[in-house]
Structure 1
């Protein structure tokens, strides 16, 4: 069928709308009201809305030692975002101190549980009746030790916590994808940490489930690698390494999460080459996540919103 001018106008209008619907990166832009550097985005879907829980890089940061609190971004359409700003300051708790990097949040039995690292690898927990707080202490000491905690709740209600044993070995020597059960109270381990990957990883473990398969993502080298398994704790045989989701990394260590929202999957990540940022001043972004017929992931392409420029060279693949 030959397209006339009217058809072409409609076609390009729809194409533009499709691109703009998610090609708006970064989520927060320098110069906008209430701008903050939002890193380590952990996206969750609650009550028909997307909430992105982020660590917070300071405007003057030259390393990660000044990470000390957490912010929340909210959207019901992935176009317009509300920045709730700093919602949790764990250093106000007498027992939490030191560097506070990547967090995660999980909902169970009427409570939202906020898992945050302090002193890099000690995992504390706060809780709230709403996705944005106010947050109160759920514990008065660490519940475990792991790097970059993430929590996944399976269809049967069983909760699991994941991370990597970067910074200290838990079990086998080396850095691996690690997992453990959580008790129903969400603040105690229900058994030991288990190694889930044959391959070594650096950090940033995340888990999600799609069509009965469990996916584990983590930073491997300077890219996001991923594994697939038939169970939430695949131990011998370990989860199967499938390759890489990202082709390259944008001036920041890769840290990611994935959600399904309104029948579309999305991949959230961070980059340090926008908003006059650096390796230590990062900004949250997201892309559509697509799959092959066999469930494997199609590598993503990074996008930027109209008029947004990069200010740093791409980190090379090593």
Structure 2
């Protein structure tokens, strides 16, 4: 089980509460038809191939009406044909981790050294009271599993941050050379090497930077290519889809390959598990379509595990996967998976990220910027990655056509560059373009820093038309706009300016990061030229830095 930001969870929960879940293939289902497990509600599938069987580890959903999630134990199923599944019952209860208090969330089992190691996300008890990752061990793939450490492998102290839910969704990958890697996290994707004993970290924690990442990572390898599949978009106010990236090494660099599969039916969450069994690849995930014989139907906290065939393209990319009722009840396509490529796949060449003459856009010059590069003449905050924690795009609330930040400069200068802390999204196209505009609001004397609205005149960057630019999804980082001499407008000391991103309401081509507090006294963040409201409060700032050349008399 995975948890996104509470405001996203509540928004989707309220939306699903008004719609009745659908019965999905309940009448005499064929073996392998989705959902593939039907005795209880299950979620967050994690497959393990061991000898001649696939073992499938799942969380057990027990939420009743009015509950978001209620998960107390983990279950195991096995199959030798991927159609008929044997239930092995509960393999561990969350309270078997004596230091944990609740929440048997996403897990995975790997075989190593003649034993089976079980990694799971739980809620650590006092004094931490935050999500953590434990590890248990067994001599059998069906358990029982016992706590291997007596303490959390990953705790809130391991990855300190503003959220208590970031240490969830562990995935473990053992490479061909025997090196074991652990990845996890929401909304950051962490990566660390494990010691051969599989119960301790071996070295520093790294961070994988990929676009749209929310949670639920899954690592696998095919040929010489590494794949990272993950649940995406929930931290941006949308239901989760599965995206993936490829790399020549588990430590990257990672190339974003886009959306693998769409939102699960009747569920805002989704969780990938990918495995090869008898020369065929499979994707496991969950939806919320099952109705039990008792009449209890699927819902936010009552999900059900499904599976689909997975196919590769000749270049090593994965073909998009549709969710089907038939699932694995029908034979796979013959000859659909070509041989593994000898070199990592290369993403299609993107459209150059600059369109308007006189300006160039460089994407992701610095992922997760802890400070602005160089020496800006002005910035709304010194440490954008730590301070700008929320994501806003044109899909926010009822939809918006402009996101803006007002600011002042202390001395006259010519604008040479603008840096925004942004990223993610679907990218720009004809249906969801993005434009950059800059307005002089006049002398700031007597104006409130976060006025209830502002009026604009001529756009300093493009006269009647805004500066249109092309954007391809990047991990959260700096978007750097450089202006040619002919486009370097003059910024006057004592004047208030408004920088805007303009787009199509309800679209999400990219996200601009905004603070959770007022970080800049001389201006504020706006949407539709009205102050940004988060949690019904105002006083926020977008992450913006302005670079310029001083003017001399």
TM normalised by structure 2 equals 0.47
- Equivalent residue for 2:250? 232
The equivalent position to 1:143 in structure 2, one of 142, 153, 160, is 153
Q: CA deviation at 1:298?
A: 0.5
**Residue of structure 1 equivalent to 2:289:** 273
Deviant stretches of 4+, over 6 Å:
none
1:90 CA drift (Å): 2.7
Contact 1:176 1:198 in 2 (8 A): no
Distance 1:96 1:212, change over 3 A: same
1:138-287 paired onto structure 2 within 5 Å: 138-145=148-155, 146-164=167-185, 166=186, 175-221=187-233, 222-234=240-252, 238-252=253-267, 253-275=269-291, 276-287=297-308
User: Within the alignment, does 1:50 sit opposite 2:50 as a pair?
Assistant: no
Q: Which runs of 5+ in 1 are unaligned?
A: 1-19, 30-34, 167-174, 307-316
Tell me how far 1:66 sits from its aligned partner: 2.0
Deviation at 1:110, TM superposition (A): 0.9
> Quick one: higher RCO (CA 8 Å, sep 6+), 1 or 2?
1
Q: Distance in 2 between matches of 1:274 and 1:179?
A: 34
Please point out which of 85, 98, 110 is paired with 1:106: 110
Any idea what the Cα deviations from partners look like across 1:218-264, whole Å, max 9, x if unmatched? 11122100000011112xxx311101110333222010110000100
Q: What is the SS of the residue equivalent to 2:100? A: coil
Q: Is the 8 A contact 1:26 1:305 kept in 2?
A: no
Stretch deviating more after TM superposition (129-138 or 53-62): 53-62
Aligned residues: 272
RMSD of aligned Cα (Å): 2.0
Instruction: Give the distance between the partners of 1:21 and 1:86, measured in 2 at CA.
Output: 23
1:21 offset after TM fit, Å? Answer: 7.0
Q: Are the counterparts in 2 of residues 38 and 55 from structure 1 also a CA contact under 8 Å? A: yes
* Aligned partners of 1:61 and 1:281 also within 8 Å: no
Give the direction of change, closer, same or farther, for the CA distance of 1:249–1:93 in structure 2 (3 Å limit): closer
Q: Distance in 2 between matches of 1:232 and 1:203?
A: 17
Partner of 1:73: 77
Gaps of 5+ in 2: 1-29, 124-129, 156-166, 234-239, 292-296, 328-506, 509-553
Residue aligning to 1:11: none
| 2:317 is the alignment partner of 1:302 | no
Bigger Rg, which one: 2
Distance change >3 Å, CA 62–CA 183, structure 1 → 2: farther
Which stretch shows the higher mean deviation, 63-72 or 81-90?
Answer: 63-72
